[in-house]
Amino acid sequence: MALRVSFVPHRIPAFPASQLRSHRVSMASTLHSPSAEVGNVRKPFSPPREVHVQVTHSMPPEKQEIFNSLHDWAEENILVLLKDVEKCWQPSDFLPNPSSPGFHDQVKELRERSMELPEDYFVVLVGDMITEEALPTYQTMINTLDAVRDETGASLTPWAIWTRAWTAEENRHGDLLNKYLYLSGRVDMKQIEKTIQYLIGSGMDPRTENNPYLGFIYTSFQERATFISHGNTARLAKDHGDYKLAQICGTIAADEKRHETAYTKIVEKLFEIDPDDTVLSLADMMRKKISMPAHLMYDGKDDNLFEHFSAVAQRLGVYTAKDYADILEFLVARWEVEKLTGLSSEGRKAQDYVCGLPPRIRRLEERAQARAKKRSAIPFSWIYGGKIMI
């Protein structure tokens, strides 16, 4: 696959280097200038910047034809996975009805139920909600992809129709969690809202290179990660007796599962048409590591907020390093990567690499856990500075 490398000019970082170093993605090429914080005075607004030397448009232009030739296929196989708006759930289906006389009692009940949930659970739920609320970034990311982007904002290609409708479905997730958290009274909404604003302003760095092969592998991985994460917050809410919240998280998880089905089907089709480049793309994304969508999270206070949130999610079992390895193993089996034949020697190497990766990730993780430092308590602004063990 021909790669065109373009170098990103140095820009003033929005966040201190310590925060950037905490990201799961490799920071080897992180560019840092201390000029944003002269004498500890942060500029009122410092533009964010890309955190890697970026590769752009790595899919050769002739491959665009593959995606153009799949329009009928996408209509028959992908658009059918969208749900009719009239049949979709809406956030108001799960929340107290503000025009009902029982509204105040319903809010009181919601707040009483939420009192059963521990603070560390709220930290994870807030992090999940913030991740959902940065949806403008994800639609932007998908529209960076060559051959499938929405060229006009109202394009009628099945790729563009999918992306807009997917965004519209996703939009309900952050909306519902946000309203639940607001009504619960358990969290500092102003701090959460600031975090969302910072995060959308920062964007994300998935390293998908405008390349739909890489982009759809990334979204396949992420939809499954969110399916697992919301499924686990549902399970924990149930364990703590908040059945309504369990229903909220479970309903969102079901959407993520349907989205996973769509994106994994697209990649399955790419494996069928172009196995060599698809397995190379999978190996490429795994070497770079799949960065989490909210990896640039910041609340104006904690330079390692994403790392701290992830540590709590790991401790509660909502999303763990083991899940990362399990997702890869699932996708490798789903796409029958082991059974691919007729690959180039590079393709065979990539095949061996991805098929052997899940047990390697698990072993590395076990060693990292064994070396892990002593646990410490970290304050989270989202819960009014309450300290949580990580």
Which residues carry a binding-site annotation? 132, 170, 173, 223, 256, 259
| Shortest distance (Å) from residue 223 CB to Fe ion | 5
Task: Give min distance, CB of 253 to Fe ion, in A.
Answer: 9
- Cα-trace Rg, the chain: 21
Cα distance between residue 280 and residue 69, in whole Å: 22
Q: Which residue lies nearer to Fe ion by CB, 256 or 299?
A: 256
N-term to C-term CA, the chain: 42
For Fe ion, the closer of residues 259 and 308 by Cβ is: 259
Assess whether 329 carries a catalytic annotation: no
Residue closer to Fe ion, measured from CB, 215 or 347: 215
Of the candidates 137, 163, 138, the one whose C-alpha atom is nearest the C-alpha of residue 149 is 163
Question: Are the C-beta atoms of residues 19 and 30 closer than 8 Å to each other?
Answer: no
Annotated catalytic residue within 255, 276, 284, 323 = 255
Mark whether 23 is an active-site residue: no
Say how many residues make up the chain: 390
What is the nearest approach in angstroms of Fe ion to the Cβ of residue 12?
A: 32
Nearest to 227 by CA among 261, 259, 257: 257
Q: What are phi and psi of 110, to 5 degrees?
A: -60, -45
Q: Are 174 and 133 in contact (CB under 8 A)?
A: yes
Task: Report whether 129 contacts 293 (CB < 8 A).
Answer: no
Catalytic residue among 133, 205, 242, 256: 256
Annotation says 159 is catalytic: no
Kindly state the smallest distance separating residue 368's Cβ from Fe ion, in Å: 28
- The distance of Cα 299 from the centroid of its chain, to the nearest Å, equals 18
Q: Among this protein's residues, is 89 annotated catalytic?
A: yes
Q: Which residues of the chain form contacts with Fe ion (CB under 5 A)?
A: 132, 170, 173, 223, 256, 259
Give the E-state strand segments of the chain in sequence order.
4-5, 37-38, 41-42, 55-56, 377-380, 386-389
Catalytic residue among 133, 223, 276, 323: 223
Whether 274 is catalytic: no
Task: Report how far residue 254's alpha carbon sits from residue 250's, in angstroms, rounded to the nearest whole number.
Answer: 6
Q: Is 259 a catalytic residue?
A: yes
Annotated binding site for Fe cation: 132, 170, 173, 223, 256, 259
Residue placing its CB nearer to Fe ion in the complex, 127 or 347: 127
Question: How near is the Cβ of 259 to Fe ion at its closest, in Å?
Answer: 4
Please report, for the chain, how many H helices and E strands are present, in that order: 14, 6
Question: Is 173 designated active site?
Answer: yes
CB 332 within 8 A of CB 355: yes
Catalytic residue among 57, 89, 240, 346: 89
CA 381 vs CA 177, 298, 303, 328: distances in Å = 18, 11, 12, 33
Q: What is the rounded distance in angstroms from the CA atom of residue 226 to the CA atom of residue 127?
A: 12
Of 252 and 340, the one with the shorter C-beta distance to Fe ion is: 252
Check 259, 277, 299, 302 and give the catalytic one.
259
Q: Is 307 a catalytic residue?
A: no
Residue written as token pair 């499938």:
148
**Which residue in the list 23, 32, 173, 230 is annotated as catalytic?**
173
The helix/strand/coil state of 41 is: strand
Give the shortest CB-204-to-Fe ion separation in angstroms.
14
Q: Does residue 223 have an active-site annotation?
A: yes
Closest to Fe ion by CB, 223 vs 242, is 223
Residues carrying an active site annotation: 89, 132, 170, 173, 223, 226, 255-256, 259
